[in-house]
């Protein structure tokens, strides 16, 4: 509940960043301010069931100009936060013939009480229901004042949004990693088996040390990526690295903690089973592992080919 208490919950936190950077004065007053005040909720509607979510250039939902309005038709799912949201930020195709694929889409603010906005169901996952609904947009009309950012700027907007949003996920995951490691250490020092406490056995100590090193690296990666965003520096590489590393560290540390707890860890008597269910989606959300790895490799080769050094692709650090 921590993120909700400080009004930094997903997807509202990411939407606040987006509106801050791209909204008009009208949009700031009517949509950003209520989010900042905590009097409204929002959702982000981009992923579609019929095309690969990791490639937004394939989006099929369309937005067509008619007079002073945009008419939106399409099919979305995993629209995080849709139940209870006052409005959605929707990514839709406005320029299908744009020469640059990334310029095909635009972003729109769509109040959820607009006729034609229909929540079909909450998509249930292995971790249960967590407000990621499937949505149909049927002749949804919004005024032209609800275009968010520039026409054809949907891809750019999404990238600006997802950088800080990925780090926000990482920060929440860091808390879970710490909790799992603390549980591992506590259990190992209390459980006696085969002549000694688990904490005295080398295999368990290696679990502790590996987890500690991975957590330390995770924190540094998140801090450095956040610093680069704050300073207006290029951050894509660092955010991809952090998102991939922290998501996988989350999985590994929870798994180790569960192993040290034995059957108790597999039961629902501790939080570990639920944490593991939730941890699996971390390697898919906001970009699958493989997409981030592909991007990291591309930027690595670009850096080397441009100046004969990989330094800029591994943090640009002075060492």
Give the separation between CA 215 and CA 238, rounded to whole angstroms. Answer: 16
CA 46 from centroid of its chain's CA atoms: 12
Q: What is the mean pLDDT of residues 221-244?
A: 96
The tens digit of pLDDT for each residue in 236-269 reads 999 999 999 999 999 999 999 999 999 999 999 9
Closest to 184 measured CA to CA, from 206, 160, 166: 206
Give the separation between CA 14 and CA 8, rounded to whole angstroms. Answer: 8
CA 127 from centroid of its chain's CA atoms: 17
Instruction: Say what percent of the chain tops pLDDT 70.
Output: 100
Burial class (CB in 10 A: 0-12, 13-18, 19+), 43: buried
Q: Say how many C-beta atoms besides its own lie within 10 A of residue 310's C-beta.
A: 13
The tens digit of pLDDT for each residue in 164-210 reads 889 999 999 999 999 999 999 999 999 999 999 999 999 999 999 99
Query: 65: which residues sit within 8 A by CB, 6+ positions away?
Result: 71, 144
pLDDT class for 163, splitting at 50, 70, 90?
Answer: confident
Compute the radius of gyration of the chain from its Cα atoms. 22
Report the chain's mean pLDDT, rounded to a whole number.
95
pLDDT class for 55, splitting at 50, 70, 90?
Answer: confident
pTM: 0.90
What DSSP element (H or E) covers 264?
helix 263-266
Closest to 111 measured CA to CA, from 201, 9, 30: 30
Closest to 10 measured CA to CA, from 72, 78, 60: 78
Instruction: Give the chain's domains with CATH numbers.
Output: 2-152 (2.40.110.10), 157-314 (1.20.140.10)
At 160 the pLDDT is 83
């Amino acid at each position: 509940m921590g993120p909700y208490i400080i009004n930094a919950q997903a997807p509202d936190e990411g939407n606040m960043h987006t509106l801050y950077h791209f909204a008009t004065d009208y949009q700031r007053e009517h949509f950003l301010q209520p989010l900042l005040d905590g009097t409204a909720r929002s959702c982000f509607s981009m992923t579609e069931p019929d095309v690969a979510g990791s490639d937004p250039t394939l989006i099929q939902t369309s937005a067509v100009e008619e007079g002073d309005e945009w008419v939106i038709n399409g099919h979305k799912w995993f629209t995080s936060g849709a139940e209870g949201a006052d409005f959605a930020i929707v990514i839709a195709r406005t320029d299908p013939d744009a020469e640059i694929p990334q310029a095909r889409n635009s972003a729109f603010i769509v109040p959820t009480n607009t006729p034609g906005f229909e929540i079909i169901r909450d998509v249930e996952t292995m971790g249960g229901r967590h407000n990621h609904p499937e949505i149909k947009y049927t002749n949804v009309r919004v005024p032209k004042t609800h275009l968010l950012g520039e026409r054809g700027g949907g891809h750019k907007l999404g990238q600006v949004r997802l950088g800080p949003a990925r780090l926000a996920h990482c920060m929440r995951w860091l808390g879970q990693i710490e909790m799992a490691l603390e549980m591992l250490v506590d259990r190992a020092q209390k459980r006696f088996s085969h002549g000694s406490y688990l904490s005295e056995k080398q295999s368990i100590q290696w679990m502790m040390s590996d987890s500690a090193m991975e957590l330390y690296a995770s924190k540094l990666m998140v801090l450095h990526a956040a610093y680069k965003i704050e300073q207006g520096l290029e951050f894509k590489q660092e955010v991809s690295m952090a998102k991939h590393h922290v998501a996988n560290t989350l999985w590994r540390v929870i798994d180790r903690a569960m192993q040290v707890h034995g059957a108790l860890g597999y039961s629902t008597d501790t939080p570990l089973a639920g944490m593991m269910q939730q941890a699996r989606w971390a390697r898919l959300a906001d970009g699958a592992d493989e997409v981030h790895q592909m991007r990291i490799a591309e930027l690595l080769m670009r850096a080397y080919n441009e100046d004969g050094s990989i330094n800029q692709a591994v943090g640009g650090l002075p060492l």
